[in-house]
Amino acid sequence: MAYSLGIDAGGTYTDSILIRNSDGKVICSNKALTTYPDLLEGITNSIDGLDPEKLKLVTMVSVSTTLATNTILEKTGYPVGLILVGDYEIPADSEVANCIMVQGGHDSRGEEVEALDLSAVENFVLRLKDRVSAFAVSSYFSVRNPEHELRVKALIQELTGLPVVCGHELAQSLGAYERGVTAYLNAQLLPVAEGFLKTVVNEIERRGLESRIAMLRCDGSVVSMQEAMKKPIESVFSGPAASLLGASYLSGQETCTVIDVGGTSTDVSLIHKGLPYLSENGAIVGGWQTKVRALRMETSAIGGDSHIWVQGSRTNIGPRRVIPLCRAAVLYPSFMNTLKKRWIPDRLKLNEHIQATKFFVRTKQKASNLSKEEEELLAHIRNEPLSLKDVYWDRNILPSKKVMDSLIQRRLVQVIGFTPTDALHVLGEYDEWDSEASEIGATLLANFLGTDRQEFCLDVKRLFARNMAKDLLAFLMEGVDRNEIEKMLEGSFFSRFKVDIPVILLGGPVRAYVDDLKRLIDAEILVPEYSSVGNAVGALVGKGTKRVEITVRTIYSESKYDLKTKGVFVYTPTGRRHFIIRSEALEFAESFGRELILDYMAESGLSPDQVTINVERKDIKVHTGDIPLETRLIFEGISNSDVYEKAVSGHKELFNSCEGNRGQTEPLDCNSPEETSLTENWE
């Protein structure tokens, strides 16, 4: 008898589950607290709670995580230098730090439009090399010719030895700045992903398991560990992808919408006839528009461990995740004494950090390259939680919010505070940890608002449920102003929203919010068995896939009086090739695409007979009957070696539909911005 092991490392819990390969039945599961910032203990504890004899028979391990998502949402990614090659329009609200724009780039044909300024790159790199963990580079039209990106990468590696992420390695779609953002975020996540994945591998090897190890991507497919470490940005929504697939599997609903409540965020996504809804424009996370192929989803930085803080007459939630008071009382023996001191800050000075219920504790992360102000503040923070008053007990001023934010972002300081989880402890709807700590915290915050702790916690619960409903409706009613949805939810009307498909809830104490949600929306709301470990189930549902896009484009002379062909170019993820005869170009593209798929699958330990390759072809023509100006070939390689077929049967419909689209032609509207691949100024 063989089994598969699913692991999901969330912001609060690390879940593990065993599924029997023969019939896909859930055999046992376990939850353990995620240990921060070192995840090893949490993973070990989670796996330890499973049947040890069945663990010996595990042949497949697949993992998912919210680690990348939370890192971006909480702005705790590692520092990165971004190099943009070409003439870019950078948004005014861009939050990219350590960025430079240098001369260079190509046009839509892959021809160099300006020489690459390597001297500017060298000066930038030498100035930053001791302050960043990696570099990212995006060149104008690198999807047509990646030469400048590759030259910059080679120079940086020669000068620093640091990792370098190129935009063309992550996406083949147009949008040079968005590719740059994708590369920038990917570079920020490299140390985070490497630490997490090596932890998983070492733990599996320590147990003597000879298992294939994979990771779920944000489009619901699985990849090898090697690929996951190189492209952690593709796991940015692997947690939500796992929750979507797991919820569908556990509830038996092939069409449903899913609300996944984690410790850091709440995510909404949808599966229709067994197929995840994917975003056409790339994943948006933490306000960043990327070029990552991912679920279309609505996410907010509000979860069960989001910080609840008060200011004036307002109760605020998030966006930062904190350790709940009830959990801190269990983790730190001296915390209850600190909490019972009941420090009451000046009401006029209240902000996110200055709160009667907020405490700071030193992590085990090693400090380096700190400013004088950071060193001074960190020296006052201990291994046991302290309030700001305790941290600065002998001073007349409180520390700078900017300096404290920096220490938190660098994972040197962990924060404790009141959370929705604490509110549920006070209300008696969750009893995982120490309710007394939650009650003290609720009393302190309620006093600032002039109410009692019971009413305060009910208000927090209603606020949290309303946020869940708002995220759900904003997702389902795409294009409708979110503020208008909020007005409807907050108002008192003789009507309410209706949802026509089942709503599946996943997460720890989500049952506590069912009644509040039903008062806000008319829907069938389900909480399936094993809902608390649904992500771990979903980690095992995805199929191993690889997607490659190759474009074959005919180039004509620029004179309107001479339409002679100048050649045919094949644009691939590794560069471009020139041909004289179009049929030869197509033959090469077809062969090379399949070769890339099989090479990738071989890295995951799969042989050609274990892989099915489907090809979708789209011809773009000016007029029906003409020779195509451009042919796009999309290759999708699918592993045939999944642990059980029942959970992925819906995917077969997707690939069958792709077969039916072969040879599809699209008349070209040259004035349409959608056909950006034929117009240079759309890059």
The DSSP secondary structure of 626-659, one letter per residue, reads SPPSEEEEEEEEEES--S-SGGGHHHHHHHHHHH
Selection from 10-19, 49-58, 373-382 with the highest mean pLDDT: 49-58
Above pLDDT 90, what percent of the chain?
A: 32
Is 663 contained in some domain? yes
pLDDT of residue 444: 94
The DSSP secondary structure of 577-632, one letter per residue, reads EEESSHHHHHHHHHHHHHHHHHHHHHHTT--GGGEEEEEEEEEEESSTTSPPSEEE
Residue 149 DSSP SS3: helix
pLDDT of 294 > 70? The answer is: yes
Instruction: Supply the mean pLDDT for the chain.
Output: 82
Boundary residue ending a domain (147, 168, 192) = 192
pLDDT of residue 624: 63
pLDDT of residue 633: 92
**C-alpha closest to that of 524 among 297, 274, 253, 239:** 253
Task: Tell me the one-letter amino acid at 656.
Answer: N
156-170, 312-326, 354-368, 633-647: lowest mean pLDDT where? 633-647
pLDDT of 492 > 80? The answer is: no
Residue 672's pLDDT band (cuts 50, 70, 90): very low
pLDDT of residue 398: 67
84-93, 293-302, 573-582: lowest mean pLDDT where? 293-302
Look up residue 567 and give its DSSP letter: E
pLDDT of 563 > 60? The answer is: no
pLDDT of residue 455: 94
How many separate domains does the chain show? 2
- Which residues have C-beta within 8 Å of that of residue 452, sequence separation ≥ 6? 446
Q: What is the length of the chain?
A: 683
pLDDT of residue 194: 84
Q: How many CA atoms lie within 13 A of 299 on its CB side?
A: 29
pLDDT of residue 121: 96
- C-alpha–C-alpha distance, residues 298 and 293, integer Å: 15
258: tokens are 């899913």
- C-alpha–C-alpha distance, residues 105 and 121, integer Å: 14
Is 302 contained in some domain? no
Residue 664's pLDDT band (cuts 50, 70, 90): very low
pLDDT of 139 > 50? The answer is: yes
Residue 89's pLDDT band (cuts 50, 70, 90): confident
Tens-digit pLDDT profile for residues 498-534: 999 999 998 878 889 999 999 999 999 999 888 888 8
505: tokens are 């809830």
Residue 5's pLDDT band (cuts 50, 70, 90): very high
Look up residue 1 and give its DSSP letter: -
Tens-digit pLDDT profile for residues 142-160: 988 899 999 999 999 999 9
Tens-digit pLDDT profile for residues 170-223: 877 778 888 888 899 889 988 888 888 888 888 998 988 888 888 888 777 777
Higher pLDDT, 251 or 301: 251
Element (H, E) at 517: helix 514-520
pLDDT of residue 558: 56
Cα angle value 57/237/35 (rounded, 5°): 60
- C-alpha–C-alpha distance, residues 271 and 257, integer Å: 6
Position of tokens 């608390």? 532
Is 66 contained in some domain? no
**C-alpha closest to that of 648 among 245, 124, 100:** 245
pLDDT of residue 604: 64
- C-alpha–C-alpha distance, residues 505 and 268, integer Å: 10
pTM for this structure?
0.67
The DSSP secondary structure of 444-508, one letter per residue, reads HHHHHHTS-HHHHHHHHHHHHHHHHHHHHHHHHTTTS-HHHHHHHHHS--S--EE-SS-EEEEET
- C-alpha–C-alpha distance, residues 471 and 465, integer Å: 10
pLDDT of residue 677: 34
pLDDT of residue 118: 95
Residue 519 DSSP SS3: helix
Position of tokens 């907010």? 300
Above pLDDT 70, what percent of the chain?
A: 89
pLDDT of residue 605: 66
559: tokens are 């004179």
Bridge partner list, 361:
414
Is 659 contained in some domain? yes
pLDDT of residue 115: 95
- C-alpha–C-alpha distance, residues 513 and 488, integer Å: 19
Domain of 552, in residue numbers: 545-682
64-68, 90-94, 245-249: lowest mean pLDDT where? 90-94
Higher pLDDT, 544 or 5: 5
Position of tokens 């591998």? 201
What Å distances lie between residue 346 and 311, 402, 638, CA to CA? 11, 20, 60
Boundary residue ending a domain (192, 224, 248) = 192
Question: Average pLDDT in the 473-478 region?
Answer: 87
Residue 196 DSSP SS3: helix
Element (H, E) at 545: strand 545-556
Selection from 50-64, 85-99, 282-296, 654-668 with the highest mean pLDDT: 50-64
Boundary residue ending a domain (148, 169, 192) = 192
- C-alpha–C-alpha distance, residues 650 and 647, integer Å: 8
CB atoms within 10 A of CB 248: 29
pLDDT of 225 > 80? The answer is: no
Is 359 contained in some domain? no
Is 366 contained in some domain? no
pLDDT of 21 > 90? The answer is: no
- C-alpha–C-alpha distance, residues 20 and 4, integer Å: 7
Is 261 contained in some domain? no
CB atoms within 10 A of CB 23: 8
Residue 399 DSSP SS3: coil
- C-alpha–C-alpha distance, residues 473 and 499, integer Å: 8
- C-alpha–C-alpha distance, residues 259 and 266, integer Å: 7
Higher pLDDT, 323 or 35: 323
CB atoms within 10 A of CB 535: 35
477: tokens are 């009613």
Is 629 contained in some domain? yes
pLDDT of residue 641: 52
Look up residue 122 and give its DSSP letter: H
Contacts 24+ apart (CB under 8 A), 384-387: 384/332, 384/334, 384/335, 384/338, 385/328, 385/332, 385/334, 385/335, 385/338, 385/359, 385/360, 385/361, 385/416, 386/338, 386/359, 386/360, 386/361, 387/338, 387/341, 387/343, 387/358, 387/359, 387/360
Antiparallel, parallel or unpaired: β 413-417 and 323-324: parallel
Selection from 143-157, 214-228, 310-324, 546-560 with the highest mean pLDDT: 143-157
Higher pLDDT, 70 or 653: 70
- C-alpha–C-alpha distance, residues 571 and 146, integer Å: 10
Contact 185, 152 (CB under 8 A): no
- C-alpha–C-alpha distance, residues 480 and 483, integer Å: 9
